[in-house]
Chains A and B, each alone.
Chain A
Amino acid sequence: MTDARLVVGLVVAAVGAVVAACLIGSTPLPMGRVFAALTGAGAPGDVIVIWEIRLPRALAAFTVGVALGASGAALQGLLRNPLAEPGVLGVSACAALGATLVLFYGAATGLTVALAAMTGALAATALLAIAAVRTSSVVTLILIGVGLSSFAGAVMALLLNLAPNPFSLADLMNWTLGSVANRSVNDLALAAPFLAGGLLCFAVAARSLSALALGEETAFGLGVDLRRTRLLVVAGAGLATGAAVSIAGAIGFVGIVAPHLVRPFVGHDPGRTLLPASLLGGVILVLGDIGVRLIPTPSELRLGVMAALIGAPIFVWIAAMRGRRS
């Protein structure tokens, strides 16, 4: 399959998933009313439901998936390790920690939460990039990520412990669970510039990531500026993951599953993995969000919980396959 066919197929899947997400909600809306509302010709209530509630929610899930899929693919390319992704490496957890710190100290506004999430993500990716320079051991790098994730989790547990009142506990806790429920275009608009910046960094670094797959020395010989590539990926992953976390909290494993699934179709080329992995990440999260709404639980399942329930076994499977190959 050519890259173009893969991308077109994923775009069609993404549009289909978003439209399917618009069909699901607490108000039973037949397909005809949904399409009428989508074209702006429906009843006023239907138009509000589709354009202000269901579509922004679906787009939020897609956007978060795109950000995490792209970040996972880029980090895997940079670190040459298919197990690297924002959740496993603690980037998402550090982003969520940044947001909760702002919340805990009473400085939370839409913008400060987004900026704090991105600062947390950037700090984590920078630390990982420094570690990646100093060690060639993939295991060490993953363990550093696990350590970062545990540390962020511990500080968040401390904040929960010291929560100023019983009513703020759920607010803090939700950052670790991940959800796109009740997201509006305002949330998307706030995160969009940061996400765009992150994706731009990845796009600029794509060719270098492809060369890096041949090894650092070969890449250097091909004229790749390693320092610049590292900086672009770190900045991109920080911005994109931070933007994703500012919309939905910490959602793990999308960044590992999406690149893993598309890699065979792009000849295991990290640069060519970026776009399809991001699209597939978006599709996975939109479908996941449809799932959490369809599963009949007393209160809606969190998207991050669903992603972890599906993604964690896949992570273990990928790790086991790698172990068997080596």
Chain B
Amino acid sequence: MIPARLLSILTIALLASCSRIDNNESEQTRRIVSLDFCADQYLLGLADAEQIAGLSPDAAKSFSYYRDRAGAFETIRPRAEDILLTRPDAVIRTYGGGPNITRFLERVGVRVIQIDYAVDLASVKANAQTTAAALGQANRGETIAAEMDRRLAALQATGALGGETLYLTSKGAVAGRGGVIDELIVRAGRSNFQQTDGWGFLDLERLAYRKPDVIAAGFFDGPDAATDKWSPTRHPVAKRALENARVVNIPGAWTACSAWFVLDAAEAIAAPEEEA
């Protein structure tokens, strides 16, 4: 015998399949569910409130940029059953729901808007535009892209500020050459202290010989930031570097998802000391 719950899910899946609208990208997609906190940002930042059928359970947490807007919406666990019970027209995700969720949802007729991983500011902008278009909010995407261009131009107009800048998270991760953070540091008119490629961990020995002028301290704002027993940032050598450099606090919410609001971080890094 087929359990009643399974039957109801299959029925909903069938209904979802039948009611699927072949979305023209200029049309607004109704009833969208977000599967992770990065996707939440795109949905909260680009969609109209009436388009949002549900957000991820992390939407209102401290590392969510639009957490203040999230309280008005229902949260849904990124599980197939819970998603289907909300009868969405589309879901939006970066990683939420696991690797097999896309295939499953598409098989039952739910459109999946997959946000790509941004590797630089150009792809940050492109993500905003393509995601906005997929949500039926192409104009909003263009507005955000134009705003990004304006802010970057303003940073460029400031000129080179100098000062080696280390992006350091509370867990001890550092951003090397390449990637969004490196570009933010350079666009802010400074140079990246970390000269290795990609992400790495803080090398305490290097700090013994050479100190950054500016430390862009990421994720030091979280509730557990100060308690990570394993982080090199607890070490006296790192603590001294943090005391001696100019520290610019970069809330985790600004950079966690590499969405358009990462420019907040660039502006903070570029800001004169009294404004940072």
Contacts and interface: CB of A to CB of B under 8 A. Distances in A.
A45 B208 contact: yes
Interface stretch (B67-75, B122-130, B151-159, B219-227): B219-227
B67 to A, nearest CB: 12
B236 A165 contact: no
A243 to B, nearest CB: 14
Contacts of B63: 165, 167
B103 interface: no
Contacts of A25: 205
Contacts of B235: 52-53, 182, 184
A165 B223 CA distance: 10
Contacts of B58: 165-166
Interface in B191-235: 201, 203-206, 208-209, 219, 222-224, 227-232, 234-235
A108 B160 CA distance: 42
A182 B239 CA distance: 12
A233 interface: no
A290 to B, nearest CB: 16
A49 interface: yes
A171 B229 contact: yes
B227 A171 contact: yes
A140 B76 CA distance: 46
Interface string A159-202: 00000111110110011000101101110000000000000000
A186 B234 CA distance: 10
B79 interface: no
Contact of B230 (A49, A106, A171): A171
Given A171-B229, A174-B229, A182-B230, A165 B61 contact: yes
A113 interface: yes
A137 to B, nearest CB: 38
A52 B209 CA distance: 13
B229 A108 contact: yes
Contact of A167 (B204, B234, B252): B252
Contacts of A299: 201
B234 A182 contact: yes
A48 interface: yes
B109 interface: no
Given A45-B208, A48-B237, A108-B229, A167 B224 contact: yes
Contacts of A167: 63, 171, 219, 222, 224, 252
Most buried by A among B171, B228, B230: B230
A45 B240 CA distance: 13
A182 B224 contact: no
Contacts of B223: 106, 164
Contacts of B204: 53, 182
A53 B205 contact: yes
B251 interface: no
A27 B230 contact: no
B229 A113 contact: yes
Contacts of B219: 167
B200 to A, nearest CB: 9
A174 B236 contact: no
A301 interface: no
Contacts of A165: 58, 61, 63, 222, 224
B172 interface: yes
Interface string A101-132: 00100101100010000000000000000000
A22 to B, nearest CB: 12
A52 B238 CA distance: 11
Nearest to A45: B209
B171 A170 contact: yes
A135 interface: no
A26 interface: yes
29 contacts: A25-B205, A26-B205, A26-B206, A27-B205, A45-B209, A48-B237, A49-B208, A52-B208, A53-B204, A53-B205, A103-B229, A108-B227, A109-B227, A165-B58, A165-B224, A167-B63, A167-B171, A167-B219, A168-B224, A171-B171, A171-B224, A171-B228, A171-B230, A174-B230, A179-B230, A182-B204, A182-B234, A184-B235, A299-B201
Given A166-B58, A167-B219, A174-B229, 11 more contacts: A26-B205, A27-B206, A46-B208, A48-B208, A49-B208, A53-B235, A103-B227, A106-B224, A167-B222, A171-B230, A182-B232
Ordered nearest first, which 10 A-B pairs have the shortest CB separation?
A: A48-B208, A45-B209, A108-B227, A182-B232, A27-B205, A174-B230, A45-B208, A171-B228, A26-B205, A49-B208
